[in-house]
Amino acid sequence: MSQLRRVESPPENRPHAAKCWFEGEDLESHRRFRPHVTVPHAGDGLLRAISSVIDFGVAQGLSSVVMASSVPTILRGIGHRAELIEQWGYYAAPELLADPGLFFVPPVQGIVPARREVRRTTFVPDDGEVWDLFFASPFEPHNPQVRRAYLRHHGNRICHARHWTHADGPRPTIILVHGYVVSNADVNTELFNARWLFERGLDVLLFSLPFHGERAVFAPGVGFPNFDLARMAEAFGHTVHDLRVLIGWLEGRGVSRIGMMGASLGGYTTALMAGVEPRIDFAIPMIPATSLIDVMLDWRPGAVLLRPLLSYLGLDVDDVRRASAVHTPMQHDPRVSPDNLLVIAADGDGITQPYQARLLWEHWGRPRIHWFAGSHGMHVHRGTYLRELGRFLGGIGLFES
């Protein structure tokens, strides 16, 4: 029996929901999945080949960052194996997997972010305003064993977001969540086409993930996500907590509908929120990661180092999936109407490979999905999926005609 399984009662007496998402899944079969582009174009093959080369280089760079930030955890595993296993095993407790509300504890009510007007950025609307929001997050890690270590990063305890608002009052709002290490607000303003979303009638809020942007300890994304499974779990707990604070604040301002769209790690976050937060009205994960340990093991050189470490600890990949399940989107059924779900994915994604999006799509009951030509970092024919996005948002009554 694995050292992380922590089963304190016979399996037949455990809650059905405590079953981990990967049990019964043929993940190797999923890995062989090859999608078909929803709207093919002449010349896609050459562009796809170029974009796959770009993804290969990016994946190696990201893997190096993840592994460099994981060195303290690796050394701790070598020197204090039992302590590390105990910390990780905390998140594999059946009661946490059975009831996400036990881990994702609601924040205190009534937090009001401070605001600072932004005058110099890539998009300042003529009929609205741009604000930077920030507040001291009262988040407390769930696991007492890691509370002190997590909270010592004081800058990470200040939540940051950028908010575009219309002059005539609150509008339905889309929350955007950036990807791993790509947290610059101006860059994401362009990547998500915030102007286009705003000019079609939505207010827009760009959220900064823990350990990214102004919350970074050394550089954006260093330390989250990485192979410290305890920090990663608590950072996702922190993410859900701070997003709920902002959702509560938006509701208090009179916003009637709130949804989310995120790319890559932001797609993972969007899908997670769709499974644990009932106030989310629509969710659009783009090129999403859906199992982070599998993403790490798809990359080189990370897998070369991680597999021997797991073997030394006496663990296997399923143990890590189990210790990560509490924040894995596929552990939770969506609370969003199937008609209000859209998955956007790249047929040649070399970073969060296509099977990751397919796993989520199948878990969600096969809602609307759009496959575009290209890769994670090179979106060929971007206009095609923007038109699909426009049709989707119009179809659920959010875009102005």
Look at residue 14 and tell me if it is in a domain. no
Does residue 50 form part of some domain?
A: yes
Token pair of 37 as six digits: 């582009």
| Cβ atoms of residues 397 and 259 within 8 Å | no
Residues in the chain, total: 401
| Confidence grade of residue 356 (pLDDT, cut at 50, 70, 90) | very high
Query: 4 lies in a domain?
Result: no
Q: What is the per-residue pLDDT for 400? A: 67
Q: What's 176's DSSP letter?
A: E
- C-alpha closest to that of 92 among 233, 224, 222: 233
Q: How confident is the model at residue 6 (pLDDT cuts 50, 70, 90)?
A: very low
Strand order in the sheet with 342-346: 114-117, 128-136, 158-166, 203-207, 173-177, 258-263, 283-286, 342-346, 368-372
Q: Determine the structural domain holding residue 94 and report its residue range.
A: 40-395
Q: Are strands 258-263 and 283-286 parallel, antiparallel or unpaired?
A: parallel
With 80 as the cut, is the pLDDT of residue 41 above it? no
Please give the pLDDT value at position 4.
60
Closest by Cα among 161, 108, 104 to 133: 161
Is the pLDDT at 239 greater than 80, yes or no?
yes
Residue 32 is assigned to a structural domain of this protein: no
- What is the predicted pLDDT for the residue at 10? 37
User: Is 268 in contact with 289 (CB distance < 8 Å)?
Assistant: yes
**Residue 19 located in a structural domain:** no
Residue 31 inside a domain? The answer is no
* In-domain check, residue 27: no
- Condensed to tens digits (0 to 9), the pLDDT of residues 245-257 reads 999 999 999 999 9
Identify the CATH number of the domain in which residue 209 sits.
3.40.50.1820
Does residue 290 surpass a pLDDT of 60?
yes
Could you identify the residue written with the tokens 């954006």?
A: 220
Give yes or no for residue 11 having a pLDDT over 60. Answer: no
Give a yes or no: residue 17 inside a domain.
no
pLDDT in tens, 389-401: 999 999 999 986 4
Question: Residues 359-370: what's their mean pLDDT?
Answer: 96
Amino acid 17: pLDDT: 45
Q: What is the pLDDT of residue 3?
A: 54
Whether residue 97 is predicted with pLDDT greater than 80 in this model: the reply is yes
Specify the number of domains making up the chain.
1
Quote the pTM value.
Answer: 0.92
Position 16 confidence tier, pLDDT thresholds 50, 70, 90:
very low
